[in-house]
Structure 1
Amino acid sequence: MRKYLCLLPLLLTGLAAHAQGNALASFNLQQAETLKFGMLALGIWALLNILIGSFRLTKSSRNKRYFYQMNIYWNIVHIIIAGGCLYFILSANAAGRTLPESTRFHFGYMQLLYLSIGLDVAFLMLGAYLKERSRISPKAEQYLGWGQSIVLQGFFLLVLDVVLVILLEQPTEQLLRLLQP
């Protein structure tokens, strides 16, 4: 009986490590699903903007022509970003990440999203500047259309990034609990 009692701490340690591994895998999978949702939303938004913009560009004039033109250019970049991120998310084994890797990935994603929010605000300001500049410029139609497009795209990106930050910040406490000894 005594020789089996000394195995009890090892068994309990193994069970705790297994539970931590399951919690970590669950956290990583939830994070991957959130990021996949975000990139799918960005990709669908980009695809719709390209399709609608291409159709409307042929039938538009004046500032609307420049609006749809900028939407197409902007969303070509969006679709490349969404496709690249989706490829990375789907090809990575999120459940197999170790705790240090999970921590690095999570806080790296958060830093990237906070940077993106700052860029979104800059896009909104650039769009507002172009719209204002259209009042005094000989290229008024072009600046107005581009400004409207950049404001629309910046607003969408801001909403998307804020939603992703909120969804990714919620389970951060779960990751921090796993880091405690």
Structure 2
Amino acid sequence: MVTRLALLVCSLASILTLQAQPAETPATYTARRATLDQRGMLVLGSWAAATIGVSGARYFATEGKEKYFHQMNVGWGVVNLALAGTSFLAARRPPTETSRPELVKAQLRTENLYLLNAGLDVAYVATGFYLKERAKSRSSATRHDQLRGYGESLLLQGGFLLAFDGVLYVAHHRHGQHHLYPLLSRLQVGPGYAALVLPIR
């Protein structure tokens, strides 16, 4: 489980490579923000599809806590796939933000959303530990296996989502720092020059 999470975190880090080129206009900034969202939803959708495929097959080939582990994974996969699909389509729509204040609001709204999600992910992981601990006190073997399997699934899915939301928060935060906030500044400084910029709206 730890190896899977490590590989997924490494692949998520590739999202951050979007920051290579500076944005010069609000339209360019908005397009790149949408690209970040689309890449993130592709990662989430791929994880969800892989979860459904692997755990869907393993559910019929396992017994005990593993069966419940894969059962819970399939449920998570269906929900994540639906969220990824709708969010991906939403990111493809033409942007509605046109003014600089609207761009800032959208930027902060996106960052806050991923922070909120990260808080929920921590709760999922904590619940996973709780279920595993509670399983120890169950006298019924079936109930023990169920709680343990569900707990391990919550640890895996919550751990992935925590890494996912954390990486996307950092990606969007850096994108705003490097591309949006310079658009709002009246003074731009670069190698060998300083320029006073007067926004026209």
Query: Is TM more than 0.5 here?
Result: yes
The equivalent of 1:89 in structure 2 is: 91
Would you say the 8 A contact 2:64–2:145 is kept in 1? yes
Q: Which runs of 4+ in 1 moved over 6 A?
A: none
Q: Does 1:33 align with 2:51?
A: no
Query: Which of the numbers 163, 175, 179 marks the counterpart of 2:180?
Result: 175
- Flag structure 1 segments of 5+ consecutive residues without an equivalent: 1-20
Would you say the 8 A contact 1:131–1:143 is kept in 2? yes
Q: CA deviation at 1:22?
A: 4.5
Give 3-state SS (helix, strand or coil) of 2:25's partner: helix
Give 3-state SS (helix, strand or coil) of 1:170's partner: helix
Query: Which of the numbers 137, 145, 149 marks the counterpart of 1:145?
Result: 149
Percent of paired sites with the same residue: 32
Query: Which of the numbers 60, 76, 79 marks the counterpart of 1:77?
Result: 79
The equivalent of 1:42 in structure 2 is: 44
Aligned length: 160
Higher CA-based Rg: 1
Give 3-state SS (helix, strand or coil) of 1:112's partner: helix
Q: CA deviation at 1:76?
A: 0.8
Q: Does 1:163 align with 2:164?
A: no
Find the aligned partners of 1:78 and 1:41 in 2 and give their Cα distance: 11
Q: CA deviation at 1:165?
A: 1.1
The equivalent of 2:108 in structure 1 is: 107
Give 3-state SS (helix, strand or coil) of 1:92's partner: coil
Find the aligned partners of 1:85 and 1:105 in 2 and give their Cα distance: 15
Per-residue deviation, residues 35-76 of structure 1 (Å, max 9, x unmatched): 111111000100110011111101010000000000001111
The equivalent of 1:58 in structure 2 is: 60
Higher helix share: 1
Give 3-state SS (helix, strand or coil) of 1:74's partner: helix
Find the aligned partners of 2:51 and 2:157 in 1 and give their Cα distance: 10
Taking structure 1 as the reference length, the TM-score comes to 0.83
Find the aligned partners of 1:99 and 1:36 in 2 and give their Cα distance: 22
Find the aligned partners of 2:42 and 2:148 in 1 and give their Cα distance: 30
Find the aligned partners of 1:123 and 1:67 in 2 and give their Cα distance: 15
Q: CA deviation at 1:26?
A: 1.6
Q: CA deviation at 1:91?
A: 1.9
Find the aligned partners of 2:169 and 2:99 in 1 and give their Cα distance: 22
Would you say the 8 A contact 1:28–1:97 is kept in 2? no
Find the aligned partners of 2:98 and 2:89 in 1 and give their Cα distance: 17
Would you say the 8 A contact 2:41–2:84 is kept in 1? yes
Q: CA deviation at 1:23?
A: 2.0
Q: CA deviation at 1:144?
A: 0.3
Q: Aligned AA for 1:164?
A: L
- Flag structure 2 segments of 5+ consecutive residues without an equivalent: 1-22, 187-201
RMSD: 1.6
Q: CA deviation at 1:177?
A: 2.6
